[in-house]
Amino acid sequence: MEPEKKKNSPEPLANWPGERREGSDVPAALDAEELTRLGPYAPQWRIAPVRGVPRLQRTFSCRSFSEAMWFTLKVGELAEAVGQRPTIVADWDHVTVALRTPDALGPHRNDFNVAFDIDSLYEQRVGARRPTDS
């Protein structure tokens, strides 16, 4: 089955089945080559360790605490709908999101799909503001 192309994405990514390690139900983390190839899907995201596991992470700037709380809630709703288990840290004027596909021992294709969706949500509601790296 050919994956659908997401609006504004560099190439087809949506609807790819999650890959599994051979002989296992645990999702396979992406290798360095795949991470490089998928990087354009999440150009403002970086790989950062969270609790010792590499994750796709981005910090978003917000104009106020209420905007940060709104964005946190919307990211949580999106994550719940797609089975993601992100770490979300909200502060006065920024929100940091670290994505994690359950049981994957590192970044997974699903994380890039969700990153693209979170970026779209942010651009639509909060506005095109540069993220802070922390």
* Domain spans in the chain, listed from the N-terminal domain onward: 37-125
Residue 99 reports pLDDT greater than 60: yes
pLDDT at 127: 61
User: 37-125 adopts what CATH topology?
Assistant: Gyrase A; domain 2 (3.30.1360)
pTM for this structure?
Answer: 0.75
**Measured CA angle at 37 (ends 98, 31), to 5 deg:** 65
- DSSP string for 19-66: PB-TT-SSBPPP-HHHHHHHGGGSTT-EEEEETTEEEEEEEEE-SSHH
- Digit-coded pLDDT (tens) for 106-133: 898 889 999 999 999 999 877 655 444 4
Compute the mean pLDDT over every residue in the chain, rounded to the nearest whole number: 79
Lay out the sheet containing 94-99: strands in order across.
46-50, 53-61, 94-99, 87-90
Would you call 126 helix, strand, or coil by DSSP? Answer: coil
Mean pLDDT along residues 30-52: 88
Confidence of residue 1 (pLDDT cuts 50, 70, 90): very low
